Amino acid sequence: MNLLIEQAEILAERLDAWKGQPLVAMDTEFIRERTYYPQLALVQLAIPGQILLVDPTAAGMAQVLAPFLDDPAITKLMHSASEDLQALLRGCGVVPSPVFDTQVAAAMAGLGAGLSYLKLVEQITGITLEKGETRSDWLRRPLSESQLKYAADDVLHLHAVHEVLEKKLRELDRLPWLQADSERAIANARNDSDDPLPHLSVRSAQMLDRAGQARLRRLLRWRDAEARRSDRPKSWVLDNELAVQLSRRPFEDFHRFNGVLDANPKAPRKARRELWDLLGPPLSDEEMALPLNRSGETLDKPKLKALQEAVGKIALELNVPDGLLCARKHLELLLEGRGWPAALEGWRRALLEPVLLPILG
């Protein structure tokens, strides 16, 4: 049974009737095309035999949802939850906890990396779902019957998928892995702060020298803060390639700086004086000590290959994707002598450190 809930009082009654349910399937629909923050448009909740399609834009919904999301006695079954967690934090002020992420669980169980919900449902249940409304406008009202069916399907099979995955992980003694990763994902969503090293995610930054990357980092940190303040996509505030172009070398005068902005149709012209003042001051020693976005040519390729092969061997033995254990960027950080990345702490470090340390020397 699928119920569209558009009044907070009705949602409160339904959730009250669900008390004692240890597992609730959950998903969201949101829009993020013209904003920095996701705009929560629909929340899907399901127990066996009943699905609630909750309109979070209705008055009072967030206040009813928040205690449910924060209830430690209810495990929320979600698939690829990271963006949903952000949307719920923005829409309801709370990050769901605890969470069982079926995409992560599937990778840990050896079923494959980054499996979509559709593929995972088909692999486990044999049921083929329709893609249908993936690019739908979820903020329009009323929602169509097609949208409501698609939304309901997103939670309809999560209990069945969870049952299989939970059993596999228990047999493999990997439930603690999933719990640790879920807790980290929840903490990351709650700690909704800017990336302190955004230049590392811009591929073309590799063409810049150390000073250029430090200037780029300045620009991108300003860009990220402005995107949050104005609730606009980062690329609308300052395009990556323009940021790289502005960072290549110090500008001799404001006229030449203006010329670069005027020649670029995506340039934030209204912020030209702010950007000029941002790029003007000399770089500090602390800024110059930043980790570099390095090209493959500057790395110790034989050692990097040896590290990748070691990770691959462990992954093969465990029947899990290499990327679940360790990303290339984390191996590069280890090669640079920057310490053990926080993303590899816990069960990953226990598996990898005895094998990787001898290679690092």
Last residue of a domain, one of 157, 190, 223: 190
- What pLDDT does 297 receive? 59
- What pLDDT does 298 receive? 66
Based on the domain organization, do 330 and 252 belong to the same domain? no
Position 30 pLDDT exceeds 70: yes
Separation CA 254–CA 15 (nearest Å): 60
Across 12-21, average pLDDT: 96
- What pLDDT does 154 receive? 96
Give the CA angle between residues 219, 220, 222 to the nearest 5°: 65
- What pLDDT does 133 receive? 67
Reduce the DSSP state of residue 269 to 3 states and report it: helix
Based on the domain organization, do 83 and 183 belong to the same domain? yes
Tens-digit pLDDT profile for residues 263-281: 998 899 899 999 999 999 9
Tens-digit pLDDT profile for residues 115-174: 999 999 999 999 999 877 667 899 999 999 999 999 999 999 999 999 999 999 999 999
- What pLDDT does 332 receive? 87
Based on the domain organization, do 165 and 208 belong to the same domain? no
Tens-digit pLDDT profile for residues 209-239: 999 999 999 999 999 999 999 999 999 999 9
Position 296 pLDDT exceeds 60: no
Across 79-93, average pLDDT: 96
Last residue of a domain, one of 288, 318, 352: 288
**Domain that includes residue 18, residue range:** 2-190
Across 184-188, average pLDDT: 95
Tens-digit pLDDT profile for residues 326-346: 998 899 889 888 789 889 999
Across 103-121, average pLDDT: 97
Position 6 pLDDT exceeds 80: yes
Based on the domain organization, do 281 and 307 belong to the same domain? no
Structural domains of the chain, count: 3
Based on the domain organization, do 63 and 153 belong to the same domain? yes
- What pLDDT does 266 receive? 85
Neighbouring-strand partners of residue 46:
25, 51
Position 294 pLDDT exceeds 60: yes
Last residue of a domain, one of 125, 156, 190: 190
Listed in sequence order, the residues at least 6 apart from 285 whose beta carbon sits closer than 8 Å to its beta carbon are none
Q: Give yes or no for a contact between 40 and 58, defined as CB atoms under 8 angstroms apart.
A: no
Q: Of all helices (H) and strands (E), which one includes residue 94?
A: none
CATH number of the domain enclosing 176: 3.30.420.10
Based on the domain organization, do 168 and 205 belong to the same domain? no
Separation CA 221–CA 302 (nearest Å): 34
Based on the domain organization, do 6 and 154 belong to the same domain? yes
Position 9 pLDDT exceeds 70: yes
Based on the domain organization, do 106 and 218 belong to the same domain? no
Q: Chain-wide mean pLDDT for the chain?
A: 94
Whole-model pTM? Answer: 0.91
- What pLDDT does 333 receive? 85
Tens-digit pLDDT profile for residues 236-263: 999 999 999 999 999 988 989 999 999 9
Q: Helices 347-360 & 301-318, crossing angle to 10 degrees? A: 140
CATH number of the domain enclosing 354: 1.10.150
In the chain, the percentage of residues whose pLDDT exceeds 90 is 85
Based on the domain organization, do 16 and 150 belong to the same domain? yes
- What pLDDT does 132 receive? 72
Listed in sequence order, the residues at least 6 apart from 167 whose beta carbon sits closer than 8 Å to its beta carbon are none
Separation CA 360–CA 307 (nearest Å): 8
> Which two tokens mark 295?
């090209």
Based on the domain organization, do 16 and 156 belong to the same domain? yes
Based on the domain organization, do 300 and 345 belong to the same domain? yes
Based on the domain organization, do 149 and 124 belong to the same domain? yes
